[in-house]
Chains A and B, each alone.
Chain A
């Protein structure tokens, strides 16, 4: 971003370059006020309530055996889901950008379904399809494969909610990728596979990693689509957000806040990571 002040400002450097466009004070003030009232102060309440536990109490509540199992479940299933999306998202973006085939427009539209479909609806739909009486659940049951009320079900739900992220981050980069680089590689004798591996994939890497991180971040905090298909057995199929609601139902606000504070920490780290990847991507694309 260019922030060079015009030559006229050879006086003391000002905090803010005056824009000729009015309305800064009003819009900035409203933005900051709304952000504080709606987002920051309520989130501060979570930190404050969990800090009220003291160090020992916080560790006991936030890192109890049950909570640790829940984090492990949420993180590992989210990682698997994001990885599945990483592979299929890349292939989907490739197919959407490079190939013409009947149904391409429909595929393109349907990819965004997880953004538009309420998570609770996704939850009951996936449970209805992959559960014991569902079409897929019933078809796989004789083979001894259970696709709901276990980790497989959780991974299916988390794959669903993260599905559009990799596709939609990789797709524009792939579309803008000049084909002459590929042609150059091919004309210099590179095989198709090595052109893809050495020319195309490295160019897509920053967008791909961003999409992966977005899908993971979304999956870790996901609640609605998971609880219907997870089974929700303590220590086994109980995701971290569910544990917060369980503590809350028992009016144990402090424990709920402690777990929430940990999840908030994960969210912060993911947000900063995604920002750093973005900054790296925009630098490397120059």
Chain B
């Protein structure tokens, strides 16, 4: 801000749009998000409750639905910790050290976001399936991965792999290395430095990554659909169960399970908002921002 007052007033105020532009643009954006975001959500709940809450709850209490919920929870319970471990390792190596071809490694970490989930699923079929690289060996040892829980977990790990890493890498790069170097030079061990110096600095970003990773892990469809085999009650996750019921024209059932997943999404958004409020300034990171670039 300059101390001198402007020489002349600039219309209503410089950088401010006329009221009709403001109202028009706001109305446009609200109409767009109602049509594309709000109404679909409302549709899920109205369709789920089309015959009252009874049939809807019955659909959720169905043994196959419960098995699907359990499998989804199990998958997330494995995929999310793996993701945290990978994200912490990748961010520590990339942000706190220098090595050649670093940007290539960062690009490779980003790969699962660009690859179609269906291609990811196919790649696991080609490695672990009966006709795959490891298929004959797995068969002689009676290990089933494709069309079984391990395949579903692996496919979920593939598609969620970048979540925590891409949250932590820019954050830890921006924070620099001074604090860790100071701790180490004062005699702290690597683990002590990590838990007492680094973790307090990155906890919000880490939670944020975990939250988004969890939403994706519970909701993944394409990759899991390819490796699952769609065996009801056995290899059926919640999103796959939605598809099965929908294709059987069980509208109430499909939308009831979908409504449960909508609640998960809404809870994710609420928690995300709460995290953004709680997060101190300077830990601002964005979901859609590609990783690996320091903020200028």
Contacts and interface: CB of A to CB of B under 8 A. Distances in A.
A82 interface: no
B293 interface: yes
B186 to A, nearest CB: 11
A121 B133 contact: no
B38 A224 contact: no
Contacts of B242: 118, 120-121, 124
Contacts of B273: 105, 109
A171 B286 CA distance: 10
B288 A45 contact: no
Contact of B127 (A34, A45, A160, A272): A45
A170 B292 CA distance: 18
Interface string A179-194: 1001100110000100
B248 interface: no
Contact of A42 (B120, B268, B294): B120
A111 B287 CA distance: 12
A129 interface: yes
A168 B276 CA distance: 14
Contacts of B111: 39, 43, 267, 271
Chain B interface mostly helix, strand, loop or mixed? helix
Nearest to B32: A88
Interface in A75-106: 88, 91-92, 94-95, 98-99, 101, 103, 105
A213 to B, nearest CB: 10
A116 B268 contact: yes
Interface string B212-241: 100100111110011000000000001110
A88 to B, nearest CB: 5
Nearest to A104: B26
Interface residues of B, number: 115
B222 A119 contact: yes
A149 interface: no
A183 B219 CA distance: 46
Interface string B274-296: 00000000001011111001101
14 contacts: A19-B97, A21-B180, A28-B89, A30-B89, A45-B132, A46-B122, A99-B25, A109-B270, A118-B239, A118-B264, A120-B221, A169-B289, A192-B17, A260-B119
Interface of B: 6-7, 10-11, 14-15, 17-18, 22, 25-26, 28-30, 32-33, 35-41, 43-44, 47, 85-86, 88-90, 92-94, 96-100, 103, 105, 107-120, 122-127, 129, 131-133, 154, 157-158, 161, 177, 180-181, 184-185, 189-190, 193-194, 212, 215, 218-222, 225-226, 238-240, 242-243, 246, 254-255, 258, 261-262, 264-266, 268-270, 272-273, 284, 286-290, 293-294, 296
Given A114-B37, A129-B39, 20 more contacts: A16-B100, A20-B181, A40-B108, A43-B119, A107-B30, A109-B270, A117-B265, A124-B44, A125-B258, A134-B43, A192-B17, A217-B113, A218-B113, A223-B222, A253-B126, A257-B126, A260-B118, A260-B123, A267-B115, A282-B294
Interface of A: 1, 3, 15-17, 19-24, 26-28, 30-32, 34-35, 38-43, 45-46, 48-49, 88, 91-92, 94-95, 98-99, 101, 103, 105, 107, 109-122, 124-126, 128-129, 134-136, 156, 159-160, 163-165, 167-169, 171-172, 179, 182-183, 186-187, 192, 210-211, 214, 217-218, 220-224, 228, 240-242, 244-245, 248, 253, 256-257, 260, 263-264, 267-268, 270-272, 274-275, 278, 282, 285-286
